[in-house]
Chain A
Amino acid sequence: MEHIRKRLAKCEEGIRYLCQIKEGCEWGNLSGLLAKLDELKASFYDYSEDGFSDEVSQIEEAVAFLAERCQEEISSMDRVRIVRSPLRFSLKDILENVYEDYTELGGEGEANIDPAMVVAKANILRRVKNRVFTQQVMVIGHEKGHGEEFRNGGSTKPWGNEKALRFMQVAETEGIPIHSYIFTPGAYPVEEYPGAAQQIARNLYAMAKLRVPIVSIISEGGSGGAEAIGLADFRLMFSHGYYSVISPEGAAAIEGRVGEGQKAPKELVEQCAEYLKITAQDNLELGTIDRIVEEPPLGAKHDDFAFFKRLRFEMMRATDEVVLKTKSLRAFRAYELKLKKAGDDDVLVNPDQDTNLHIDISWELNNDEQKRLLALRAKKYRAMAAKAYLNDTTRFGEFCKKTSTRAAKVYYTVVYDILKRQQKQVEKVIKEVSGEGSSFVKRLSSPFTAAYDFIAHKPAGRAGKAPSAAGRQEALALEFGDTYTSPLANEDRTVTCPNAASRGCKDLWVPDLYGEFCGVCENCGHHFPLEYQWYLNNLFDRDSIREFNAKIGASNPLNHPVLRQKLQNVKNETKRHSAIITFQARLLEVELVVAMLYSDFRNGTVGAAEGEKFVQACELAKLQRKPLLAYVHTTGGIRIQEGTMGVIQMPKCTLAVRDYVDAGGLYIVVYDNNSYAGPVASFLGCSHYQFAIRSSRIGFAGYRVIRDTTGQDIPPDYHSARNALKRGHIHGIWDRREFRRNLHQALMTMGGRNLYYR
């Protein structure tokens, strides 16, 4: 009878799993089945063995039928619940079953920097004919555990992501590939050092040029937390996984404007999960992943050994593909790998099938191959979300643009790489010679100069030159002009400073505040928000702004039912097409490229259009050897209605920044008002030089998300620029009235005389 009892237990597990997926036992009369099961268990000894077996068989059939039906009509939200089930496999199961052996690094179990992030050095076996090779990999991933609370559900803290980065660099030193497994609902949103956003940005920046193959696979891909280890040369996804910009519940809370502490209606959550296009198939179609790894119906569990066999095969195949693309000699092996693809789909059905690749591919890369790997990685991300924005440029316009870019490339190569280099060489020689000459002349003439000074009664040490007229002019030019006054100043009323109670600030008359005081409280220095046009007019030299890519516009790539109308409205209101303005401008003698995210357009959220414009700004700055300024008037994060098309902008833009900085560019970020989430956790936060305007707030997640996630309240100044300065995220807080002067100084100090400094 024992084996029948086991079958019964399996049935119960199956029913309870279905109840979890369907969020209750009402669907398909699961509650009836459970009742019958209880009844059978209670009357276990009343049946004969055959009779009991028949009863169990009936339940087994019913469960199998329901499972089949559930799989047929599986919804996006069902997949979310599958991924969150404690029965689902976790990273530890993968380490045990996919790899030959492994050693966990950076802590073990609860004794860990962050138990939600597991790093292990693992061996994987490759069989070629009758020989066995061991290949090493660095396995990095989130560990949800099977109901272990200390794992925090795979929600990694900043120091957990830092651990991941540390061991990625170890992998780079050792030249071994990285396999990253993403099982996270999102990063743990705390600002404690180094800050959730700052650490994710650092990870992305480092991964952009990590000189080893990276293969990532997504089970639960929650936005920024996923991206922290998700930038890869090959991106896989489990067939029942989800990859999304925000959890469906979070999206529903925003869409439905649900108050804190209240739950969004179930139907709305389901709808949001569908709109966000979070499934593996959706993501494959959108091009954010490269391949899907099939799981058994209703998802793999921790004891699906055939699935682990397949996973091992898929991870090796993906790594091989990445490595082979960098090799010059690869044709036959690539063909072999391609053939293997065609016949592998029944691995799950037939577990005995040989899943060994039988191809000899070394995962070590030489210098040239590493360069090729990085170039391919950059190219891969550059092409992502290419169709997710509007571009009204005609074919002729495109042709002209391409031609002028090519011409500019030739021109700037000649000017900077050929002439400038020669000029620099000549200048260097002249400087050396003149230095030698002046020392020689000084030694000859010093007795005569001393004698003359003694006779003429001149004090020791010759006075330096008085400040030149040009210097004074420059100082004047750095003052704000009276070209533009905010329209906010046209109201005849007063406002109260938010610090009035604590600092005793008097009421401010609006025409004074937004006119003469530039929106700054004259008593405490609190900065009231000003419109982005104020900066456009006051920060740069008059008439020096030349906008580019103005026609690239935000679109509705996922056909979200509300976004289209919202976009149309905001386009009509702002007379602009996206939340970012990219332009070239001048500040005294410095020509620079500027990308400005502003609040009027969907709260400065970043989608495919914004990302594309930012990348093109980086490319232009790189081409023309100009410094790049990202001025963030406001950004609310990634535009959630664009789903993963938005999330993918994080690695895409970071790669563009890294390319620009590695080529010698100077990238400065200035935050103003509110800057949160994805952009701060990627292409903004990765800058070496970040500053903030006074009274601005910088962070990863807002109050409500932090309270919901961590269950703790946070102090009111949690996101303040001062706190960001304290933890080293930014390097200075600038007064708005001194913005022009400070920016000029920053360009000069950080960029040096030639700005394009290497």
Chain B
Amino acid sequence: MHDEIDFDQILSQYRADPYEYIEVTTPHAGRLVFKTSEEKPVSGPSGEWQHLPGTLLYELERERNVKPVRSVVNGVVANLERALDGQFVEAGEKVMIIRHPLKKREIIDRILRNVLSMFLAPERAKYFFALDIQSRIDKHGQRSISIKPGDEVLTMSLMKRDTPVLYQGEPGIIHSVYFTPGATVDQDQPLIGICPEDKLPLIQKIIARVKSEWE
């Protein structure tokens, strides 16, 4: 965790520009035909299983194989390289930018990931809180649990074998939990986000401000 966090600056940065700019580049060489235009809204995959494809952005033809390229996020098309329409392009060529408006949840998530220290999954397995931690969470809530390096915080369950997972990282309290007990978590995915106790009021304040100020 950074010692000095200028939350005002972070907030004003998001307020001034509440977008994520996703650069769309060609996956390989080929003749490009745009299927969208500047400032046109596009949507990413949707549906319960993300099975409904996103908006068609352009088609790339290589060796008579016309490949449709679709948007992976919601947003608006910007900086469309209209000059490339109908031209042969190389792989990795920037063709447009999708301006994706950040939602309140995304902003909070980004800020938290920036300021909390993340404890990542050492292996692809199912994770549970250690029994005493779980009972304390049940009793007092997760924010009351402070942990330090070497504490047995989690239990990793792999093929019905339980292995204790010792915490390595900055001491602090468990601020965010990113896993569901019993569900498989991939390796290197965040399990818990830790925040030093003295920084907690500041983080809570900033979350409250984002929640209240953002539409």
Contacts and interface: CB of A to CB of B under 8 A. Distances in A.
Do A and B belong to a common assembly? Answer: yes
Interface stretch (B47-55, B82-90, B98-106, B111-119): B47-55
Closest 5 CB pairs of A and B: A493-B64, A494-B65, A716-B51, A494-B63, A715-B49
A448 B24 CA distance: 83
B49 A494 contact: no
Interface of A: 491-496, 507, 509, 713, 715-716
Contacts of A509: 63
A495 B65 CA distance: 6
Q: Chain B: interface residue count, which band?
A: 10 to 19
Contact of A715 (B28, B48, B62, B65): B48
Contacts of B63: 492-494, 507, 509
Contacts of B65: 493-496, 507
A507 B64 CA distance: 11
B67 interface: yes
Secondary structure dominating the interface of A: loop
A492 B51 contact: no
Contacts of A493: 63-65
A713 B62 contact: no
A512 to B, nearest CB: 12
Contact of A496 (B47, B48, B51, B67): B67
Contacts of A713: 47-48
B64 A715 contact: no
Nearest to B50: A716
B150 to A, nearest CB: 39
Contacts of B51: 715-716
Given A491-B64, A496-B65, 15 more contacts: A492-B64, A493-B64, A494-B62, A494-B65, A496-B67, A507-B28, A507-B62, A507-B63, A509-B63, A713-B47, A715-B48, A715-B49, A715-B51, A716-B49, A716-B51
Contacts of B67: 496
Nearest to B68: A496
A494 B64 contact: yes
A716 B50 CA distance: 9
A270 B67 CA distance: 43
A494 B60 CA distance: 12
Nearest to A495: B65
25 contacts: A491-B64, A492-B63, A492-B64, A493-B63, A493-B64, A493-B65, A494-B62, A494-B63, A494-B64, A494-B65, A495-B65, A496-B65, A496-B67, A507-B28, A507-B62, A507-B63, A507-B65, A509-B63, A713-B47, A713-B48, A715-B48, A715-B49, A715-B51, A716-B49, A716-B51
Interface string B4-39: 000000000000000000000000100000000000
A494 B65 CA distance: 5
A713 B63 CA distance: 37
Contacts of B62: 494, 507
Nearest to A715: B49
Contacts of B47: 713
Interface in B51-96: 51, 62-65, 67
A191 to B, nearest CB: 15
